[in-house]
Chain A
Amino acid sequence: MIDWAPLILTFKLALITTFLLFIISIPLAYWMAFTKSKFKPVIETLVSMPLVLPPTVIGFYLLIAFSPANSFGNWLNEWLGLKLVFSFEGLLFASVLYSLPFMVHPIQSGFANLPVSLKEMSYILGKSRFTTIVKVLLPNIKSSLLTGIVLAFAHTIGEFGVVLMIGGNIPGKTKVASIAIYDEVEALNYGAANTYSLILFTLTFSILLIVYLFNNGYLKQFHK
């Protein structure tokens, strides 16, 4: 029988990451969709970096930055009591950073594709920016929100390089499913590796399938 801890850890990590990303990404995506600031290209580039950078590079720099051996990591440790290397909190931070574009991009394009007149009309009707976002804009980009949530969730499940660098491979603490698979293969336990893989494959397949069904309207008959 396989050890369930890596799978549970993976889903716990993915759930919390997705939740945090959802909260961070709505204001960030809103800003990126509507700002005329000259810093926009810089911020856009930074948000998109995880798409192109090898995960090990991100992991490496995070490891250096958070290491208690240097001043920043030391400061975090002493003042906030945060130890971000080889800990769950560190994994969480790295995952949020690493999956950021997968949440931000769909929401940003959702905002950008809405007719500007909806926002303007809400202002004319006396509503604040916050009310406008919550009552008018977000309800009309539901499918973008769903896409963002699912991509971020699935992407966090699939990460390997970043978590290995920053989290290490501590059973029950930072050993996620993708690392467990690698471990089992190295130990020539193909059976266990196959079980982990199959579970991940089936779950991610089902999640993506549900999103595409939803976004193409096949599920309308059920949720209406």
Chain B
Amino acid sequence: MIALNFQKKLIAANGKMLLSVETLIKEGSLVTLFGKSGAGKTTILRILAGLTQPDSGKISVHNSIWLDTQNNINLKPQKRKVGYVFQDYALFPNMTVKENLEFALNKEDNSNIINHLIEMVELGELQHRKPFTLSGGQQQRVALARALVQKPKILLLDEPLSALDEEIRYKLQKYILTVHKEFGLTTLLISHDVSEVLRMSDLVIELNEGKIIRQGPTNQIFNYQDLSAKFQLTGTLIQIIKQDFIYILSVQIGKDIVKIVADESEGNNLAIGDKILVSAKAFNPIIQKIG
């Protein structure tokens, strides 16, 4: 069990903000921190990793205390042994892919894990290249592999996939799910992409302006478990046109814009910019081969 309970004053875009977090995270779960940018998600990961110190609070992980401001306990990042993938990956430019992984290895540990990880994220051919010669997705895989060299119990991922295109993203989501299971990790993932959250996580913690506003199992938070639909897509509403008794909604789903019809009761609740879930039954879809 990871128990978080801390407060920190932050300077956010629109003035001062109090980050106040109290939650329990079960061992082995994959949790998404969800919310607008500036809600304090990254700071939570940094506090958990020991890079930022909260003003007051307590953190305990699997019964050992990492932080207790009342008793002046604050474990250094070096002692916390978390795996962390930064948003900018923070690969060491002076080392090759393999050297980046080797740097993370403790002297007394077996070096077999390095080859295992390199195979796992399919970096064999790139292992002697320097990071700046790699694409974003490849760098992300190196960062993920490096974070696992020390076999951490906790993996922190700060929007690791936001800079990547859809196809690579999907592949990397699979890598993350694989390592999450294989290493028995407790994973905290930051994302503000609903489809990613739905695909990946068991639990969601939703934040707004430094406070937890909702938390629970993913399907409850996004309230879709009672639909018997067969297609589910998430997208952003970009246009609403009212025509007589119905609304025509333009929804951006991935790179495509889809027009759908909504009735008055549905349309009245929606505003441009809303994230929406579009679902349809499997009866009678039109299927056409396009390539």
Interface window among A61-69, A135-143, A198-206: A135-143
Cα–Cα, bound, A115→B86 (Å)? 12
Residues of A within 8 A of B76 (CB): 123
Residues of B within 8 A of A113 (CB): none
Asked if residues A118 and B90 are in contact (CB atoms below 8 Å), the reply is: yes
Cα–Cα, bound, A122→B94 (Å)? 13
Residue picked from A122, A123, A127, most chain B C-beta under 10 Å: A123
5-57 of chain A: CB within 8 A of chain B: none
Interface check A216, CB cutoff 8 A:
no
Asked if residues A123 and B103 are in contact (CB atoms below 8 Å), the reply is: no
Instruction: State the Cβ distance, B169 to closest chain A Cβ, in Å.
Output: 22
Instruction: State the Cβ distance, A140 to closest chain B Cβ, in Å.
Output: 5
* A118 in contact with B92 given A124-B84, A125-B103 (CB within 8 Å): yes
Cα–Cα, bound, A21→B84 (Å)? 37
Residues of A within 8 A of B120 (CB): none
Interface check B88, CB cutoff 8 A:
yes
Residues of B within 8 A of A123 (CB): 50-51, 76-78
Asked if residues B103 and A120 are in contact (CB atoms below 8 Å), the reply is: no
Residues of A within 8 A of B104 (CB): 125-126
Asked if residues B86 and A117 are in contact (CB atoms below 8 Å), the reply is: yes
Cα–Cα, bound, A125→B80 (Å)? 9
Q: Which residue of B lies closest to A128 (CB)?
A: B78
Asked if residues B106 and A136 are in contact (CB atoms below 8 Å), the reply is: no
Residues of A within 8 A of B146 (CB): 125
Residues of B within 8 A of A210 (CB): none
Instruction: State the Cβ distance, A122 to closest chain B Cβ, in Å.
Output: 8
Q: Mark B192-232, 1 if CB is under 8 A from A, else 0.
A: 00000000000000000000000000000000000000000
Instruction: State the Cβ distance, B144 to closest chain A Cβ, in Å.
Output: 13
67-105 of chain B: CB within 8 A of chain A: 76-82, 84, 86, 88, 90, 92-94, 103-104
Residues of A within 8 A of B84 (CB): 121, 124
Residues of A within 8 A of B92 (CB): 118, 121-122, 136, 140
Cα–Cα, bound, A124→B103 (Å)? 12
Residues of B within 8 A of A118 (CB): 90, 92
Interface check B49, CB cutoff 8 A:
yes
- The secondary structure that dominates the B interface is loop
Residue picked from A121, A127, A139, most chain B C-beta under 10 Å: A121
Asked if residues B51 and A120 are in contact (CB atoms below 8 Å), the reply is: yes
In-complex Cβ contact of A136 among B78, B80, B86, B94 (8 A)? B94
Residues of A within 8 A of B60 (CB): none
In-complex Cβ contact of A124 among B49, B88, B94, B106 (8 A)? B49
Cα–Cα, bound, A126→B107 (Å)? 11
Asked if residues A120 and B93 are in contact (CB atoms below 8 Å), the reply is: no
Residues of B within 8 A of A140 (CB): 92-94
Cα–Cα, bound, A115→B77 (Å)? 18
Interface check B250, CB cutoff 8 A:
no
Interface check B234, CB cutoff 8 A:
no
Interface check B150, CB cutoff 8 A:
yes
Asked if residues A127 and B78 are in contact (CB atoms below 8 Å), the reply is: yes
Q: Which residue of A lies closest to B87 (CB)?
A: A117
Asked if residues A135 and B78 are in contact (CB atoms below 8 Å), the reply is: no
* A120 in contact with B94 given A125-B104, A126-B81 (CB within 8 Å): no
Q: Which residue of A lies closest to B46 (CB)?
A: A120
Cα–Cα, bound, A117→B80 (Å)? 17
Instruction: State the Cβ distance, A107 to closest chain B Cβ, in Å.
Output: 16
Asked if residues B94 and A121 are in contact (CB atoms below 8 Å), the reply is: no
Instruction: State the Cβ distance, B45 to closest chain A Cβ, in Å.
Output: 11
Asked if residues B90 and A115 are in contact (CB atoms below 8 Å), the reply is: yes
Residues of A within 8 A of B81 (CB): 126
Asked if residues A124 and B77 are in contact (CB atoms below 8 Å), the reply is: yes
User: Can you add 6 more A-B contacts, CB < 8 Å, to A120-B90, A124-B80?
Assistant: A115-B88, A118-B90, A121-B90, A124-B49, A124-B78, A140-B92
The contact sample of 12 A-B pairs, CB cut-off 8 A, is A117-B86, A122-B103, A124-B51, A125-B103, A125-B146, A125-B149, A126-B78, A126-B106, A128-B78, A139-B94, A140-B92, A140-B94
What residues of chain A have their CB less than 8 Å away from a CB belonging to chain B? Answer: 115, 117-118, 120-128, 135-136, 139-140
Nearest 8 Cβ contacts at the A-B interface: A117-B90, A139-B94, A121-B90, A123-B77, A125-B104, A126-B78, A124-B84, A117-B86
